[in-house]
Amino acid sequence: MEWLARFLLGGLIVSAFAVIGDVLRPRGFAGLFGAAPSVALATLALTELSDGKEYAAMEARSMIAGAFAFLVYALVCVYLMAKKHHRASTTTLATLVVWGLCSLVLWALFLK
């Protein structure tokens, strides 16, 4: 039953964000709005229902830390590819270390 609720709630939220992304310009926003925010909201809603508000709040803090670490990763990738003209495949794979280290530091400082 929980899987069905996850499927339905996730599908509805993903669809709503996809519609929002489709309305916005440029079209590149459609993929952005159809992915992570909608899945995160569905996950948090179901987590709150099944495990309570305190656990959902802890999960939300973890998601925020992960999103910040990903932002740092993305900025390093953009810098290396746009300014230093490195190849995308090697840059994205090599800088995963940046994401991992940033995540570990944030975990140690704020989530431990």
At which of 27, 51, 75 does a domain end? 51
Same domain, 45 and 64: no
Residue 4: what are its φ and ψ, rounded to 5°? -65, -45
Which residues, 6 or more positions from 3, have their beta carbon under 8 angstroms from its beta carbon? none
Same domain, 71 and 29: no
Same domain, 86 and 38: no
Nearest Cα neighbor of 88 from 98, 78, 75 is: 78
Residue 47: what pLDDT?
Answer: 87
Instruction: Tell me how many domains the chain contains.
Output: 2
Same domain, 30 and 62: no
Q: What is the pLDDT of residues 25-40, one digit of tens each?
A: 666 666 666 566 667 8
Same domain, 28 and 68: no
Q: What is the pLDDT of residues 46-77, one digit of tens each?
A: 889 889 999 999 999 999 999 899 899 999 99
Residue 104 has pLDDT above 90, yes or no: yes
Residue 107: what pLDDT?
Answer: 93
Residue 13: what pLDDT?
Answer: 73
Dist. CA 49–CA 75, nearest whole Å: 35
Residue 27: what pLDDT?
Answer: 64
Owning domain of residue 99: 54-112
Nearest Cα neighbor of 42 from 67, 61, 17 is: 17
Dist. CA 61–CA 110, nearest whole Å: 9
Same domain, 21 and 33: yes
Same domain, 93 and 41: no
Same domain, 61 and 99: yes
Same domain, 61 and 104: yes
Same domain, 67 and 103: yes
